[in-house]
Amino acid sequence: MFVRLLSMFAVLLLSSIHAQAAKRIDLDYQVRFLPEQDQAEVRLTLEEGEAVRSLDFNLGDEGAYSDFSADGEWLQEVPERGIWRPGKGKSSLSYRVRITHQRDNGAFDARMTEDWALFRGDDLVPAAKLDERDGIVLVARIGFDLPKGWKSIETGWPRIGKNRFRVDNPERQFDRPTGWMLAGKLGSRRARLGETDVAVVAPVGEGMRRMDILTLLTFVWPEVQHVFPRDPKKLLIVGAGDPMWRGGLSGPNSLFMHVDRPLVSENGTSSLVHELVHVFSRITDADRSDWISEGLAEYYAIELVRRAGGMSEDRYQAVRERLTKWSRKVSSLRTESSTGPVTARAVLLLQELDKEIRQGSKGRHSLDDVARGLMRLDKATTQDFIDITETLLGTGSKVLDTKLLR
């Protein structure tokens, strides 16, 4: 036993020394907005180009990226893929990206006007496979050059200066400035909830109910943190009106809400809390199991408001009746993309499962423990969900023994 402990200590010590000895190389993103062209000019600059062998970018199939220029070598044999091999010394890659994006239904999930731009950083810098040399740690920052008259820029990343932010995602090898971003003539309200700086931001004149949002967040925040024990440094909530998509969309450290969406809808659920659960849980799924992430988000959109004292028992039962009517024709939850009725049926199953877990464990466990277990997985499958639940119960689950999950 002593030898084993000594060996483990040696491994930990070597890992610590390696981390301290790693060479830190600056990676700077600089963005310049071009509203008249519905584009942004993006420049990636490596302090030492030789620290990176290559960045292999997934450019997608919509032709959003153009005008590439690079120090070193840029290869683009097909439109969907580009490979940058930086030169020696300070090395840069620049390109242009179209900002506005319209969905098939005609609504926009990214838009640039003469006064503002609302978009996701995921699209600003495309996903890439990083091949870096051993002993290198990239330190990423992003800065913005704003057009004349635009007052500010906000992202879900910590601010380190005027229009500059630190990008640090330990879960990624390549630190991309992901999540929602909003630049232009903006109005904002801010609060500190727990250990998190919360900003609610929208273009001036869009009618965003910023204080209403902060009030609801303050109300449910302790309940959210109890289930999903995370303390993000920052949370950004952005919004705008038509013709933006009339719903909510989550992203890393951020979420979007259409300004006309009610904080609590007539069916008793909250789109805001639904998207907040996505941000905090980060649960994603695979193998036709979208019912897990969407069902849990909607389950907690009801449950967290209820636990915070915002829903009476009568109202809770009325919500259940409405979910039952909406989902009565659902015969299976297994799908790549959950629909409204499928999500409603998933919520009912999760409510039944929570009751089963509490009774079976004599109050020691609940669905919260299943959710926390799923948070540790890269992607959750239906079988993962069943395994975690039955481990907590110590036996099979009658609720999960259903045709809905086959």
pTM above 0.75, yes or no: yes
For tokens 């051993």, name the residue.
134
Contact 252, 167 (CB under 8 A): no
Tokens of 390: 């039955």
Rounded CA-CA distance 257/253 in Å is: 14
Rounded CA-CA distance 254/275 in Å is: 9
pLDDT tens sequence for the chain (406 residues) = 444 444 444 444 444 444 456 899 999 999 999 999 999 999 999 999 999 999 999 999 999 999 999 999 999 999 999 999 999 999 999 999 999 999 988 899 999 999 999 999 999 999 999 999 999 999 999 999 999 999 999 999 999 999 999 999 887 889 999 999 999 999 999 999 999 999 999 999 999 999 999 999 999 999 999 999 988 999 999 999 999 999 999 999 999 999 999 999 887 889 999 999 999 999 999 999 999 999 999 999 999 999 999 999 999 999 999 999 999 999 999 999 999 999 999 999 999 999 999 999 999 999 999 999 999 999 999 999 999 999 999 999 999 999 999 9
Return the number of other C-beta atoms located less than 10 Å from residue 6's C-beta: 10
